[in-house]
Amino acid sequence: MKLVKHLANLGYGSRKEVAWMFREGRVTDAAGEVLYADDPLDHGSVRVDGQPLDPPPGLVLMLHKPVGYTCSMKDPGRIVFDLLPPRFRLRDPALSTVGRLDRDTTGLLLLTDDGALLHRIVSPKSRLAKVYEATLADALRGDEAGRFASGALLLESETTPLLPARMDALAPRRARLVLHEGRYHQVRRMFAAVGNRVAALHRPQVGGLALGELPEGHWRALDAADLDRLFSPETP
Ligand code: URA
């Protein structure tokens, strides 16, 4: 692939705009030598305005999603892509969220431009655990863990019962849940099904990958070791 197309695919501009960047001498190699639009591609050694390029396709990142951002491209309000470099919205292949978190849910959100990986993560066959911490409007009654673990709980307007899920009480109004599926508003609807209401919801972990010290609103690219951790079988 020509360098000009690679840069356009990374969102640095349209092909025409990127061609101008070459003309203006803004695209160089690591030693500062000016590069040309049809030069061969050596991603690691290219600089734009002296800066290394954004990660190449195959990008996987995790974002610590704050309250108030939607996992959508279209929403007129705040969207999770507002928390990433603006160029990331223009990439081809496109970066998408891996599943969704509700607008008012915080925590670990994965994004990738790798369609096969996205399917592997969301596939029920991978049985990736999603860990949630819920703060509840009312105190736990004591029967919730048994009902969630039963494999018989039906959510409103659904006909297939939920897979067994694990719940541990953390405090009278706080619970940790481990799910192996991802239905629409699942955690909120599970607590609604047992007569409670989720007041706040946080996802600290997916598979074996945890947010760790990543501050709210921040993101980082994942490396091979992170992906091993994500798919690690010994999840919570
Ligand atoms: N379950 C929910 O209800 N909301 C989320 O954002 C994720 C899981």
Check pocket membership of 202 for ligand 1, CB cut-off 6 A.
no
pLDDT tens profile 1-17: 899 999 999 999 999 99
How many A from CA of 128 to the centre of ligand 1? 15
CATH number at residue 34: 3.10.290.10
Residues 108 and 215 in one domain: yes
CATH code of 74's domain: 3.30.70.580
Instruction: Tell me if 235 is assigned to some domain.
Output: no
5 C-beta closer than 6 A to ligand 1: no
Ligand 1 neighbour 187 (Cβ under 6 A):
yes
Strand 105-112 relative to strand 60-65: parallel, antiparallel, unpaired?
Answer: antiparallel
Pair 92, 138 in one domain: no
Q: What is the pTM of this model?
A: 0.93
For the chain, how many residues are written? 236
Residue of the nearest CA to atom 2 in ligand 1? 185
23 and 81 share one domain: no
Query: Do 133 and 196 lie in a common domain?
Result: yes
Residue 236 lies in a domain: no
165: Cβ below 6 Å to ligand 1? no
Task: Let me know if residue 24 belongs to a domain.
Answer: yes
pLDDT beyond 70 at 236: no
Q: For residue 139, tell me if it sits in a domain.
A: yes
Are residues 30 and 141 both part of a single domain? Answer: no
217 plus 103 within the same structural domain: yes
Query: Residue 199 has what pLDDT?
Result: 98
pLDDT at 124: 84
Q: Using a 6 Å cutoff on CB, does residue 201 contact ligand 1?
A: yes
Q: State whether the beta carbon of 186 lies less than 6 angstroms from ligand 1.
A: yes
Does residue 109 belong to any structural domain of this protein?
A: yes
pLDDT at 215 over 90: yes
The pLDDT score that the predictor gives to residue 6 is 96
Supply the residue whose CA is at minimum distance from atom 7 of ligand 1: 101
- Provide the CA 186 distance to its chain's centre, in angstroms: 17
| Residues with catalytic function | 102
Supply the CATH number for residue 145's domain: 3.30.70.1560
Q: Is residue 48 part of a domain?
A: yes
Q: Contact 215/106 with Cβ under 8 angstroms?
A: no
CB distance 104 to ligand 1 below 6 Å? no
Residues 153, 92 share a domain: no
Q: Could you tell me which residues are beta bridge partners of residue 219?
A: 63
Q: Which domain holds residue 15?
A: 3-52
Whether residue 191 sits in one domain with residue 135: yes
pLDDT at 74: 87
Q: Are residues 105 and 214 in the same domain?
A: yes
C-alpha distances out from residue 17 to 37, 43, 86, 95, 134, Å = 11, 19, 16, 21, 47
What tens digit of pLDDT does each residue of 115-165 get? Answer: 999 999 999 888 899 999 999 999 999 999 999 999 999 999 999 999 999
- Residue 188, in any domain of the structure: yes
3-state secondary structure 37-56: CCCCCCHHHEEECCEECCCC
Closest atom, ligand 1, to C-alpha of 101 = 6
Probe residue for ligand 1, chosen from 67, 132, 162, 198 as the CB with the greatest number of ligand atoms within 8 Å = 132
Domain count, the chain: 3
Does one domain contain both 148 and 106?
no
Say if 157 falls within a structural domain: yes
CA proximity to 206, closest of 106, 81, 114, 110: 110
User: Closest ligand 1 atom to the C-alpha of 182?
Assistant: 8
Would the pLDDT of 235 be above 80?
A: no
The confidence score (pLDDT) of residue 234 equals 64
Tell me what pLDDT residue 19 has.
Answer: 95
Nearest residue by C-alpha to atom 3 in ligand 1: 185
Kindly state whether residues 74 and 112 are assigned to the same domain. Answer: yes
- Both 87 and 151 in a single domain? no
